[in-house]
Amino acid sequence: MRILGIDPGIARLGWGVVEPIGSRLRSVGYGCLETTPDRSDPERLNVLFTELRQIITTYTPDCVSVEQLFFYRNTTTAFRVGHARGVALLAAVQAGLPVYEYTPMQVKQAVTGYGGADKRQIQEMVRILLGLAECPRPDDAADALAAAIAHAHSASLLMQSPRGGHRA
């Protein structure tokens, strides 16, 4: 099962693909899609959509794990991140992929064992869990890999549960 993790953002959208190999996880690929503020928001969203579709085609994930939005003090930022998140959800659904959503606290808990972990702790645990030589850069890519890891851990628990799981 390949999982595409997404950390949404309009300026920087992190992505990362992981897959289980036995009881371990390995990184298949990761990166960050960047758009510049000299373009209109609709143009930036189109770039994100087009590039996400290409990533889905290239890496053929079985599902997508997306971090849910948390409260922003700046509502303009929240709306723009929400638009980018919507584009990511649309790309996944149009590709026929199930989408699973996790709060930032759930992602931190799954990766570090502590829901209040900071960025550095998350990056280091992503590095360790995926057996990488160095922490994934930029931070957005590490956050996307963390979202994928959260689903991998959740999915393995759900497969052991007699009730199974559900999509968000």
Active site residues: 7, 67, 140
Measure the CA–CA gap between 112 and 52, rounded to whole angstroms: 27
Q: Under a CB-based contact definition with an 8 Å cutoff, are residues 110 and 102 in contact?
A: yes
Cα Rg of the chain, angstroms: 15
Describe the crossing of helices 104-112 and 119-130 by its angle, rounded to 10 degrees: 50
Question: What is the DSSP pairing of strand 3-7 with strand 63-67?
Answer: parallel
Using DSSP bridges, classify how beta strands 12-21 and 24-34 pair: parallel, antiparallel or unpaired.
Answer: antiparallel
CA distance 18 to 39: 31
Side chain identity, residue 77: T
DSSP class of 38:
T
